[in-house]
Structure 1
C-alpha cells in the first residue's frame, strides 16, 4: 500500500462492525529510504576547497572533549563516531572568539569573530566572514563564488541568523534550505526561453543600478561627511550587486554540469522530524557534487538555526541543550552529537574515496565543523571552549591526528584558525578579524 490506513478502520457487514487488530498497514509509512547515493570516481580538476558546517546549541561537552591531548590522544565517546578518520582531522578545545557574548548569536559570529555590540548606538554590527574572503579570491573561476545552505532559508534575524556568511559590510548572505531548488540552481540547464528571460532580467537590473549610481553621485556632493560615509557604504553594496550580475551574465552561456538526480532525495524537508537524516545527507551530497564539478569552492552549511534543530530521531535539540546538568538530558544530547558526526563521517568518506589529482578530495578540501556556543556542564550556553574540529586539507599543508588543547581563559582567538584556512585557500593576507597570527599546522 502507498498510504497507511486508519487504526479506526473496521469491517462492516449485516449491521455489525468488527474492529481490526493492529496491522502493519496502520503504521506510519516511511517517506524516504536511506540514500543510495555513491561518490563518483574523480573530480574534474584539483582545487583547494573549504566547507564550514555548523551545529547549533552546543554539544554535550563532557562526552566531546578528549581526556588527553597531543598526537596520542584517545578519542572521546562522541568523537568515536569519526574513528575511521582519526588521522584526517584535528580536534581543538579551549578556543573561542574573545568578542563573542555567547548565547544564540553564535552562528552570527562563528566565521566573523565580530563584537556585535561594538558600534555605539547600534544593537548589531557584524563583520565579513572568513568564507567570503576565500570566495572573493576564487569567484572568477567558478559559476558560484560561494554557496550558503541552512535548514531555514533567507537570512533570519540579528542574533538568530539563518546563514553563516556575511559580506564586507557585515550584511548577511541569504541561505537556501530546499534540496530541489539547490539542485535546479546548480545543475538544471536553462531553456532558450529561460535564457532570454534571464538576460532581460539582468539588463533591467543593470539599468536600475546605473540610475541609482547616477543619482547617488549627485546627492553625495550635497551631504555632510557622516552622511557621505553612510552613502558610500550603500554604494558599496550597489557595486557588489553590479559585479554579481556581471558574473552571472558571463556564465549564462557556459553549460551546467550534467548530474543525474536519480539517487538524490530532493524532496526531503529540513523541518520534518522524519526527514531530518535524509535532508542533512542530501544537502551534503549536493555540496560534494558542487565541489566535484568545480561549481564552487566555498560552502557554508548551518545544519540548524540557533534555538532550533532536530536530532536523528526527531528529538528537540534546543530543549536538550538547556539540560541544567541533568544526566538524562545530557545523555540524549550526546546521542544527537553522535548522529551529527555520523553524517559528517559519511561526507568525509565521499571526499576520501574520490580521486582528485595526486591524492583524493579530502586532501584538498578543508572541512570545519563545530558550534558557536558551549552548552557546558550546566547548559549555560557559554562562548568559551567551543566544540571545534578541522578535517582534510593535508594536501594544502595541514597536519592532523591531534587534539590541540588550549586554556579556555588564555588561548589564541578562533580567528587565527580562520586566518590559517583563508591562507590555505591561496589568499595572501596576514590578518583576519581579531587574529593575532596563524596556527601551527
Structure 2
C-alpha cells in the first residue's frame, strides 16, 4: 500500500523549537496532474548580480546569434552550462546619461528623467518586487550583499547592503545564545510599540499638511509599514533555529582589491547556501573592485585602471585576464547550483539569475549595449539573443519576462514597453 505524501509544511518539534524541512521527495504528490503540482510546489528564486565595471564587449558577445554561436573568450568558462544560460547583446535602459551613477538604476529601470545627476528619483528594484510578493515564506524576505546600491524599495529608497561576509554568515547560520535571543525578542516588542505610536502621530499630522509635505510623510509611513512587516516576520523566526550547514564559518571579509577573486568566490558560496537552505527567495549581490592591483599573473594595474583602458592594448590584455578569472568563478557557481537537487529539479532551474552591469563600455562610461547574462530559472535559453546595437531593446522588458517566469502577473516594470520574447 503506497504511503500518503508528507505534508509540505511538516516540521520537526522538540523542546519548544520547530525546524522546517526542505522540499523532500516524500512531500511530492503522485497520480494524475502530479507533475504540474510538483512544479507549483517548488520555490522560485531570483538572484541579481551587479558589477560596476562592465565586461570588455569584444571578449563577451559572440559574432553569431542563436544557439550555435562560437563561444567567446569570456563565454568559454560557461560552456558546461551552454543550454542553461542566454547572453544578450543590444540591451540597455534607453536614454540613460552614462557614467558610474547609473548603477543605482541597473535593476530598477527607472525612466531616464529619474536619473538626473544630483537628483536621483528611483523606483523599486526587481529583487524587491519579488521579495514583496514571495518573501513572506522565508526567514529573510530578501538579502542585499556586497555593498553597492542595487536594491531599492517601492518608494525609491535605497536598502542597505551587507558588505561583510562574516556578518552575513552569522546572520544566516549562527544561532544566538539564550540571552541574545531574549534581547532580540525584547527588541521586537519595543520596536512594535514605538511604531504603533509613530504611526498614530503621523496619521494625525498628515491631516494638517499640504500636498508636498503629505507626500514626504507618506514616504515615512511606507517605511514604517515595511518595518512592521519585518518585525512580524522577525517574531515568527526569532525562536526558530537557523539552518545547520557543513561549511566552516567565514572569518575573513577579503576587503582589499588584491583579494577580489577570493571575495567573489566567498559571496557565491554564501549565496548558494542561503538559497539551498531556503533562507531567502530574493538576493542582490554587488561585485566590486577599485584601485588596488589584483593578484593575478601578468596584471600590474588595478581593475578600474584596466577597465578604463583608452584602447591601450597592454591594459586590455590585463583586463581580459581579470574578467576571464571572474567568469570562471561564475561558471563554478552555476555548476554548484546545477548539482544541488531540490524536489526532482536543480537549484539552478529554480533560480532566475541575472548577471549584469550598468556600463557597456567602462572606458567610455557608456550605458548602452550592456553585458547581460540570464541563467537558470527554467527558461528555454536561446544561446545568444542579439538586438540592435544602435536601437537597444529595453532591459526592463527582460525584467517583466523574469517576473512572469516567477509566476507574477506584472505587465509593467521600470521603463518597460512590454515583455521580452525569445526565452
* TM, length-normalised to structure 2: 0.85
Shift in Å at residue 288 of structure 1? 0.6
Q: Assess if the C-alpha contact under 8 Å between 1:106 and 1:371 holds in 2.
A: no
Structure-to-structure mapping, 1:233-312, within 5 angstroms = 233-262=219-248, 266-304=250-288, 311=294
What residue is the counterpart of 1:420 in the other structure? 401
Q: Report Cα offsets for 1:163-203 as digits up to 9, x if no partner.
A: 31100011111111222211111111122211110111112
What residue is the counterpart of 1:88 in the other structure? 84
Distance 1:147 1:112 in 2: 16
Distance 1:194 1:309 in 2: 39
Q: For 1:391, which of 363, 369, 375 is the aligned residue?
A: 375
Structure 2 SS opposite 1:90: strand
Distance 1:308 1:148 in 2: 24
Structure 2 SS opposite 1:415: helix
Q: Which runs of 5+ in 2 are unaligned?
A: 1-20, 25-41
* TM, length-normalised to structure 1: 0.82
Is 1:335 equivalent to 2:321 in the alignment?
yes
Structure 2 SS opposite 1:91: strand
What residue is the counterpart of 1:25 in the other structure? none
Shift in Å at residue 115 of structure 1? 4.0
Q: Which runs of 4+ in 1 moved over 4 A?
A: 42-45, 119-122, 307-312
Is 1:133 equivalent to 2:129 in the alignment?
yes
Structure-to-structure mapping, 1:188-199, within 5 angstroms = 188-199=174-185
Q: Report Cα offsets for 1:7-48 as digits up to 9, x if no partner.
A: xxxxxxxxxxxxxxxxxxxxxxxxxxxxxxxxxxx9646321
Q: For 1:67, which of 63, 69, 75 is the aligned residue?
A: 63
Q: Assess if the C-alpha contact under 8 Å between 1:57 and 1:381 holds in 2.
A: no
Q: Which runs of 5+ in 1 are unaligned?
A: 1-41, 153-161
What residue is the counterpart of 1:229 in the other structure? 215
> Relative to structure 1, is the Cα distance of residues 44 and 241 closer, same or farther in structure 2, using a 3 angstrom cutoff?
same
Is 1:364 equivalent to 2:345 in the alignment?
no
> Relative to structure 1, is the Cα distance of residues 271 and 191 closer, same or farther in structure 2, using a 3 angstrom cutoff?
closer
Structure 2 SS opposite 1:428: coil
Structure 1 SS opposite 2:305: helix
Distance 2:294 2:398 in 1: 28
Task: Give the structure with higher Rg (CA).
Answer: 1
What residue is the counterpart of 1:48 in the other structure? 44
